[in-house]
Amino acid sequence: MSIFNKNFIAAGMAGVFVAGMAASAMSADIRVGITMRMISENGQRYGQMVMDEIDMINESGGINGNMLKATLMNDECKSDKGVANAIKLINQQKVHILIGSTCSSVSLPIVDITEKAGVPQIIPHSTNDKITKKGSAWVFRVPVSGRYYAGVNAKYVGENIGKKIAYLCAADAASQNDCDAMQSQMKSQHGADPAYVAQVQEKEVDFRTHMQKIKSAGVDGIMIAALAETMARALTQSYEAGIPASVRRIGSSSASNSPVPSIAGDAAKGVFFAAAYAAADSRPIARLFNEMVKKRYGVNSPDHDFSQAYDLVRITEIALKNADLKLDDENLAADRTAIRDAIANVKDYNGLASGPISFCAAATPQCRDGNRTAVLIAYTKGGKDYKTEVLARVTMPIDFGL
């Protein structure tokens, strides 16, 4: 069956906070809890996409005749809010499955909550290696792990850009992980130590002192690892400091988010990064997805956080259909276990990701980092009408980075 259901293009906007309630009277509910970062316009769209797709599953008859009842909460990329959301969804809403979060710094502590409660957690966006290295039997990751991204980036940089690299690293968990992993891989693959490293706060707005020092160091490239808005400011200021375009700008995976080229404008041109999906993908499935996102959410070139949210819903749908669920209070723990085991049995899911996504039963990164195929993407034009090109696709060995 195609991963796109018949209503894919035509669906309208759904309710922002709760989906699936109207149809629940005729059947038992499968309760889905969602906590995501929704403090930006794109963040709100990612959450809306998950809710819209859940609504469409219900409109098509639900899961084996049972309706999905989804509750969406905003954690604002704050770990305390994310933990509070998870506890509320698990203990008060009694969800069967938890989706979240966007930020690694939020997903990491939630892993401990879901493991203790015995609730399957499936992650839409977080890339930090430590998430699956915790050894929880209850967590699954749809996005590409940072350990794979670092290997792909370092190989390309060392072979095509140079080995004298400066690093500007924001304080959030994903950016720190990306920076550390890239430095480690540059050392491992090319014997290269960092030319310059700066740790900055996520809300920091002035990077000019760092850029002057980087300019003086005469580097081959600058890696900027930060969330989208911060990265865009740093890119702009790198050119204001007089660092030429010949010094390549390397982004962490959040460079794929559309605020980067939209805010950075011309400063985004030439920036390259590893991601899980490219809007420049020529596959028919990608063309259709791009058209849907443009029509439904007004985004011309969807980044990989859109595609990962979509793939997550499809994988969850497959698992729920294959799980033997009782859907009563007495069997809540058993139903949660059945869903976990059904996700672990998802093999070779082929969707929007550039490679197949597979899970397995062991509580290891090898089994829980389901997507191993990274795409190297470069911006060929910045601004709101930004354009990208695909440089390469690389599927990494399952044990890489462990």
Predicted confidence at residue 192, as pLDDT, reads 97
Beta pairing partners, 222 = 166, 249
Rounded CA-CA distance 14/32 in Å is 16
100 vs 37, 80, 91, 160, 330, CA distance in Å? 9, 14, 16, 36, 26
Predicted confidence at residue 201, as pLDDT, reads 83
Burial of 241 (0-12, 13-18, 19+ CB in 10 A): middle
Predicted confidence at residue 22, as pLDDT, reads 41
Helical axes 304-322 vs 332-344, angle rounded to 10°: 120
Q: Which domains does the chain have, with CATH numbers?
A: 18-145+282-372 (3.40.50.2300), 147-280+375-395 (3.40.50.2300)
Rounded CA-CA distance 292/320 in Å is 25
Contact 125, 101 (CB under 8 A): yes
Beta pairing partners, 394 = 374
**Tokens representing 186?**
């540059």
Single out the residue of 344, 216, 342, 353 nearest to residue 276, CA to CA. 353
Rounded CA-CA distance 46/303 in Å is 10
**Cα dihedral sign for 338, 360, 117, 91?**
negative
Contact 172, 103 (CB under 8 A): yes
152 vs 123, 268, 391, CA distance in Å? 22, 20, 11
Predicted confidence at residue 27, as pLDDT, reads 56
> For the chain, first and last CA: distance in Å?
35
User: Which pLDDT tens digits describe the chain residue by residue (402 residues)?
Assistant: 333 343 333 333 333 355 544 433 345 899 999 999 998 888 899 999 999 999 999 999 999 999 999 999 999 999 999 999 999 999 999 999 999 999 999 999 999 999 999 999 999 999 999 999 999 999 999 999 989 998 999 999 999 999 999 999 998 888 888 899 999 999 999 999 999 999 988 778 899 999 999 999 999 999 999 988 999 999 999 999 999 999 999 999 889 888 899 999 999 999 999 999 988 888 999 999 999 999 999 988 898 999 999 999 999 999 999 999 999 999 999 999 999 999 999 999 999 998 999 999 999 999 999 999 999 999 999 998 898 999 889 999 999 988
Element (H, E) at 373: strand 373-381
Single out the residue of 266, 270, 289, 216 nearest to residue 2, CA to CA. 289
Burial of 222 (0-12, 13-18, 19+ CB in 10 A): buried
Rounded CA-CA distance 297/306 in Å is 10
Contact 182, 223 (CB under 8 A): yes
